[in-house]
Amino acid sequence: MKSAFLLSLSAAALAASGALADEIRVLNWQGYGTDLDWSLKAFEEATGNTVVHEYFNSEQEMLTKLRTNPGAYDVVLVNAIYNPQATEEGLLAPVDTSALENYAGIPAEFAQSDLVTEGGEVYGVPWTWGVTSFAVNTQVFDPAPGTLEVLWDPAHAGRVSIRDDAVEAMQIGALATGQGINDIQDLDAVQAKLEALMPQVRTFWGSENDWNQFMAAGEFDVATYWSGSAARSAAMGLPVEFVVPKEGAIGWLDSLAIPATSEHKEAAAQFIDWMIDPEFYVKWDAEGAPASANAEAAAALDETAFNRRVLGDPEVAARVQFQTPVDDGTRQKYLEIWQALKAAQ
């Protein structure tokens, strides 16, 4: 594998001359890997291309931006369960994976997933994966609890938080009631379980920054969270331990895609290849990253790294249920339940 971090003479010459340089516009969550200063500087020096970011706060906002701003973006972060919808709407272009030197490291379970492919074409390059579960304040818990029921423990009333997301909340409720996250048979049981959680909730968080601020202020004992975010929070020095409980956790896959209306598709592919490079990932992981979808990158981690030690544990992986797409009717039903629960809090 040729590392994207090693500057070739031609790349250096390109950077020096500015010839054929493009401005790549990336649409992503803020602070999620693609906008790391040290990585952007190295990429820009290596290719001559510059990178500008725009951010979204929800997947629905991401889809809206793609629909209403044709030509505005060149690379977009797409949670894989939204990839089929975005592909069907014609929002994404197929990616020529033969141009990606690091694509070979992505195992078939991700690379050939129906979530990121359609008709033999790749519409999303698997980038990162992780789990949604909960994290605890280690100044309150020692050892960390191994069950979701801690969210409902009266001892932590007013010091619990859950993300303000209807689908995620319903799936947490499904796990807590022993149901599959992708096939909730007893919605009444989930609604009742979440209703019982509402008196426990200090606040609903919406972003990693929100979560970190509340935890830093000592206002959370336990809160739902993402595995990669927990790794970053711990790297920042927050007293955080991530838990994959006996009930299981929600698995997700994020992909990097090229919008159909991008005018810089070749440069966009260069940037995506940079993002799946094991050398980039190992450095990012040290700062707190989700698990890499590139098996070669995961294998390059130190054995003590969270994403190898925890998410690489087969026993933990067996408890993870990966998300599948949620149809609009189900999503609307979940939203109505969630909004009613919050209104009654």
What CATH number has the domain bearing residue 163?
3.40.190.10
Average pLDDT (113-139) is 96
The torsion angles phi and psi of 3, rounded to 5 degrees, stand at -75, 135
CB atoms within 10 A of CB 171: 24
Domain-located, residue 318: no
Confidence of residue 13 (pLDDT cuts 50, 70, 90): very low
Domain-located, residue 8: no
Domain-located, residue 43: yes
Q: Which neighbouring-strand residues pair with 160?
A: 201, 222
Whether residues 102 and 173 share a domain: the answer is no
Domain-located, residue 265: yes
Residue 150 and residue 136 in contact, taking contact as beta carbons nearer than 8 Å? yes
Confidence of residue 12 (pLDDT cuts 50, 70, 90): very low
Whether residues 114 and 221 share a domain: the answer is no
pLDDT at 3: 52
Q: How many domains does the chain have?
A: 2
DSSP 3-state helix, strand, coil percentages of the chain (rounded to 5)? 45, 20, 35
Confidence of residue 228 (pLDDT cuts 50, 70, 90): confident
Domain-located, residue 4: no
pLDDT at 251: 94
Domain-located, residue 13: no
Whether residues 206 and 330 share a domain: the answer is yes
Whether residues 175 and 221 share a domain: the answer is yes
Average pLDDT (283-298) is 91
In this predicted structure, which of 82-86, 132-136, 198-202, 288-292 has the lowest mean pLDDT? 288-292
Residue 290 and residue 119 in contact, taking contact as beta carbons nearer than 8 Å? no
The secondary structure of 122-157, three-state, reads ECCEEEEEEEEEEEEECCCCCCCCCCHHHHHCHHHC
As given in the structure block, the two tokens for residue 65 are 């931006």
Distance CA 102, CA 328 (A): 35
Whether residues 246 and 269 share a domain: the answer is no
Whether residues 125 and 135 share a domain: the answer is no
Domain-located, residue 11: no
Whether residues 66 and 156 share a domain: the answer is no
Give percent of the chain with pLDDT exceeding 90: 80
Quote the domain boundaries for residue 57: 22-129+252-313
Mean pLDDT, all residues of the chain: 92
Q: How confident is the model over 17-69, as pLDDT tens digits? A: 444 689 999 999 998 999 999 999 999 999 999 999 999 988 999 999 999 99
Whether residues 292 and 210 share a domain: the answer is no
Average pLDDT (326-340) is 95
Residue 273 and residue 82 in contact, taking contact as beta carbons nearer than 8 Å? no
Whether residues 212 and 166 share a domain: the answer is yes
Whether residues 140 and 260 share a domain: the answer is no
pLDDT at 166: 95
pTM of the predicted model over 0.85: no
Whether residues 62 and 108 share a domain: the answer is yes
pLDDT at 253: 94
Whether residues 333 and 194 share a domain: the answer is yes
In this predicted structure, which of 123-127, 166-170, 219-223, 224-228 has the lowest mean pLDDT? 224-228
Would the pLDDT of 103 be above 60? yes
Average pLDDT (192-210) is 95
Domain-located, residue 60: yes
